[in-house]
Amino acid sequence: MIETSRLKLYTASQETMETFIEKQTLDVLKTAYTEMLRGCLEHPDQWEWYAIWMIERKDGTHIGELCFKGLSADGIAEIGYGISEEYQNNGYATEAVKAILEWAFSHLEVNVVEAETDPENIASKRVLEKCGFALNGVIGEEGPRWAFQKGKSDK
């Protein structure tokens, strides 16, 4: 578990992930979370790199999720994140991403953390900027790719 001043982040168990997947109403999320669970089951020794990370306020209120999309052999980890609409614009995503960056870079094999965001998703772009990510010139499936290099000072 990772704790910040306002949040708790933790990886979901298989049972929690299965329940979470069943409750999804958007096919795109159901598919993404199912792929995460598959990654966990295929790589149980790397559970944290595939699992849904639950984001909760300290009072236990679930406010969003975060995930990695595995860890490549060359030390690149991609993240995705989302905060429920009613909790947006409170700095929770920035706080969660900063915490997960610190956690990721505590693993010696991690060199870069990347993220993609739709060019029109101003809020997500702002989170990445506040966390010290920079565009790396690559366009991914979801939009421009942002990267944070190990050893880079935080903004």
Give me the tens of pLDDT residue by residue for the chain, a chain 155 residues long. Answer: 999 999 999 999 999 999 999 999 989 889 989 999 999 999 999 999 999 999 999 999 999 999 998 889 999 999 999 999 999 999 999 999 999 999 999 999 999 999 999 889 999 999 999 999 999 888 878 888 999 998 765 44
The confidence score (pLDDT) of residue 152 equals 67
The confidence score (pLDDT) of residue 154 equals 47
Burial class (CB in 10 A: 0-12, 13-18, 19+), 22: exposed
Return the beta strands (E) in 5-124 as ranges: 7-11, 52-57, 62-71, 76-83, 112-116
The confidence score (pLDDT) of residue 95 equals 97
CATH architecture of 2-149: 3-Layer(aba) Sandwich (3.40)
Structure tokens at 36: 């995460």
* Lookup result for tokens 């159901």: 30
Residues in the chain: 155
What are the sequence ranges of the domains in the chain?
A: 2-149
Q: What share of the chain is helix, strand, coil (3-state, %, to 5)?
A: 35, 30, 30
